[in-house]
Structure 1
């Protein structure tokens, strides 16, 4: 599973795209000689793949289940999936209170992220996604998520957005 996140630098106005990736491996991966890829090797592989002239920041960690308890293991994996897919852009990262600046940043993000797949599934997680009959992240219906018809909905829609800095929802 891969989720792309974009952050903004308030000091220089630059944008930073990075990825959160969850990789499922066989348990033998950690014990089999030559199978395990170290942090340094991941960094070198990423640098080579991206043809970078600098060492990129690569942070790898294992989803741990220290107590070998199946319920805790499920919770740890669920938390890892949630963390990976949490958000693509945090509004607290780019909303400054300066309307002109905020509109420019939103415009940049809209143009830069247009038609970009921000979340993608592969391998085992793709199979699980399919088995659960989950909506497609890019093409799915994000408005109608239940069986209610439009006629049943005689009310109006309200769009609210979570603001992490203010720890509250804002209605648009």
Structure 2
């Protein structure tokens, strides 16, 4: 999600598609215009959506031990973030509205050859953090407060309730 200059939210998708290598070279090469057409049809919109299609490649000078490692790197890059940190920090009201609208939405979906790749194992009691085990980190005591606005059915900032020490 990217925040527009006018405060609007611009959703975009980071997708990892497994396609034949021939789609990127030779007589079976899929041109940018065709990708735009396919994506437009999928979205069911009447405009030409902006797309950026790239083949998974290693970075210049990078050595990859095997294809699985290369794929793992591509998945990590694809899932890096859904909202830019500066968009979250620069406008708290915008971020709260975004959070409200995206609540309980699924951001990751896998299928086909990747169906079982990203499934997480079930947590066990041993995996869970024990609340009595306090870490070595320091706490400066500062707190940022939010209150529930039942009329708008969302949280809003309450700077007057912040704790600064």
- Aligned partners of 2:127 and 2:66: how far apart in 1? 35
* Equivalent residue in structure 1 for 2:55, among 59, 62, 68: 62
Unaligned runs of 5+ in 1: 1-5, 159-170
Work out which structure has the larger RCO, using CA pairs closer than 8 Å and 6 or more positions apart in sequence. 1
Closer, same or farther: CA 85–53 of 1 in aligned 2, 3 Å:
same
Task: Flag the structure with larger Rg.
Answer: 2
Q: Show the 5 A alignment for 1:71-90.
A: 71=65, 73-90=67-84
How many aligned positions are there? 136
Q: CA deviation at 1:44?
A: 0.9
Q: Show the 5 A alignment for 1:42-53.
A: 42-53=35-46
Q: CA deviation at 1:58?
A: 0.8
- Aligned partners of 1:86 and 1:155: how far apart in 2? 30
Q: In structure 2, the residue corresponding to 1:95 is in which secondary structure? A: helix
- Aligned partners of 1:78 and 1:64: how far apart in 2? 12
In the alignment, which residue of structure 2 is the partner of 1:120?
109
In the alignment, which residue of structure 2 is the partner of 1:161?
none
Closer, same or farther: CA 81–12 of 1 in aligned 2, 3 Å:
same
- Aligned partners of 2:13 and 2:85: how far apart in 1? 18
Q: CA deviation at 1:72?
A: 6.3
Structure-1-length-normalised TM-score: 0.62
- Tell me if 1:147 matches 2:136: no
Structure-2-length-normalised TM-score: 0.64
CA RMSD of aligned residues (A): 3.4
